[in-house]
């Protein structure tokens, strides 16, 4: 078995990859609402959820997976009153036909973050390395 890493840190960056995969499994690190320059995208939950889920989708696709391959999603939200607003955006990315298992918890977020999302995906014919 070999492990493939995607989006490894730049020199001086934090020591984690955006995703790591082995034997068809892909573990995507928590994604937050950051733009292409790494700056936090401020705004309401709808804005932050959309940027975060776009980032998650981009990491999946860079590794050869799609949202339909996701088997589990972890969601951390800062304010539980944003739960319904998050769910509206989430439903745009994950259909009920391919709905993954999910956990959503309240967490004190850093900076101006309202949400963070990670996932685990599986693709039978996908092998690392």
pTM for this predicted structure: 0.91
pLDDT tens by residue, 94-121: 999 989 999 999 999 888 899 999 999 9
Helices (H) and strands (E) in the chain, counts: 2, 6
Q: Could you tell me the two tokens for 97?
A: 């036909």
pLDDT tens by residue, 26-37: 999 999 999 988
CATH numeric code, 4-8+18-122: 3.30.1330.40
Give residue limits of the domains in the chain: 4-8+18-122
Phi, psi of 67 (to 5 degrees): -65, -25
């Amino acid at each position: 078995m070999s492990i493939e890493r995607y989006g490894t840190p730049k020199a001086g960056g934090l020591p984690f990859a955006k995703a790591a995969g082995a034997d068809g499994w892909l573990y995507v690190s928590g994604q937050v609402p950051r733009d292409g320059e790494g700056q936090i995208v401020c705004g309401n939950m709808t804005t932050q959820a959309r940027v975060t889920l776009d980032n998650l989708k981009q990491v999946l696709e860079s590794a050869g997976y799609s949202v339909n391959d996701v088997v589990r999603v972890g969601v951390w939200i800062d304010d539980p009153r944003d739960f319904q607003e998050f769910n509206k955006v989430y439903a745009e990315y994950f259909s009920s036909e391919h709905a993954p298992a999910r956990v959503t918890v309240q967490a004190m977020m850093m900076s101006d973050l309202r949400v963070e999302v990670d996932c685990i995906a599986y693709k039978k014919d996908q092998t690392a390395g």
